[in-house]
Structure 1
């Protein structure tokens, strides 16, 4: 795909999702429709440094293609982070942003013939929200989809009511939020035990793991550990797709 030009974006809406996470809706006025594949990201050129390379920040698109020229980003405020500090403190509704996109190959397969495991932490849920809504909206045939979302506590959960609703409405979609530092009525612990248990249940004592693709989005430590564990279950490296944050 050819590299997209830099364009002007207008922030049309901002909402707090949690105590440290915000949703930003951005319109691209020069386009009638901002077309992208679920899972792709946009790059922002923020006025935070003289050197261009230190101004660039990339964020996965949290919304899904809907034929409009508006898309949504989900952004967490990072302590000491120049980019997110600017976005939280300086950007208001009506603010202009310089952006490029869509970009990226972290996208759905052309045909969903295997189980999908979407494994994420924090705002790494953004591309998976896009993918799941896209699948539902277009009635795309699919096998089991397990969205395993890890956060520390309930106050860190994002899109939780919406995704729980999808879990009830969408056949073969399973939303599994898990908390690592708080007991609650859902899954507890880290994401790794969740997908390992699901795979082992399906193996049912067999040596070969069932056909599946694994999509990982989040911090490097989580992704590195997941890649080792998934291959330890017997999967080939080609079954693993990743989008690294930070």
Structure 2
């Protein structure tokens, strides 16, 4: 079956950090854009003659709410044709060609084990969607640990919102972890995300791992998690860049 392409209209753009923007896109052809938390859309951008070199995929950062509008959070990659186009050419009211929702990076049907959602950078997008979805619908869930890695505090996305969710949602813990921050005002975790889940899982209890973000982080996490004695089938991943 050929995927259908839609015309999306950009309704709002917000600068989230110095190098990331949030884009809200409405799909007028659909009364509601239904997706599962964790899925992504693919944009067809006019940046190349070849189709496959024009396509850029982004996880949906918003949760399914019955509307025909979704949110994407996008980082400006140095030399990145796709993100440069979106940052410089797209304004509120611009049109974008997209297809989706796509992907199987979604919550398990049966959630009996603790969930470790490990991300770097904009890799937090699918986890934000999942967490809000579970909270809003009161879906029973095990302990959920959202371990979000960045270099500096200024790089953290949705920090205030995730801290609020951590306070409001029993069994949900947001653990931002910074690898290069040396400001005395930062009292949270320092270092890399791996040390956090290794510590939390010293008891080797059953767990599911969802990894989203930079390839180097995902490769290292896969090795470490298997070395801890977990099965590779316990690991689900979505690669960025």
Please indicate, yes or no, whether the TM-score normalized by the shorter chain is above 0.5. Answer: yes
How many Å separate the matches in 1 of 2:137 and 2:17?
30
**Counterpart of 1:189?**
191
How many Å separate the matches in 1 of 2:129 and 2:59?
9
Compute the displacement of 1:51 (Å).
1.1
TM-score normalised to structure 1 length: 0.96
1:5 paired to 2:4: yes
User: What's the secondary structure of 1:99's corresponding residue?
Assistant: strand
Quote the RMSD (CA, aligned, Å).
0.7
User: What's the secondary structure of 1:17's corresponding residue?
Assistant: strand
Matches within 5 A, 1:1-246: 4-183=3-182, 184-200=186-202, 203=203, 209-246=204-241
User: What's the secondary structure of 1:148's corresponding residue?
Assistant: strand
8 Å CA contact 1:216–1:223 kept in 2: the answer is yes
How many Å separate the matches in 1 of 2:70 and 2:3?
16
Question: Residues 50-105 of structure 1: CA distance to partner in whole angstroms, max 9, x if unpaired?
Answer: 11111000000000000000000000000000000000000000000000000000
Compute the displacement of 1:4 (Å).
3.1
User: What's the secondary structure of 2:201's corresponding residue?
Assistant: helix
Structure 2: state its 5+ residue gaps.
none
Aligned length: 238
8 Å CA contact 1:4–1:102 kept in 2: the answer is no
How many Å separate the matches in 2 of 1:242 and 1:5?
25
Structure 1: state its 5+ residue gaps.
204-208
How many Å separate the matches in 2 of 1:27 and 1:219?
28
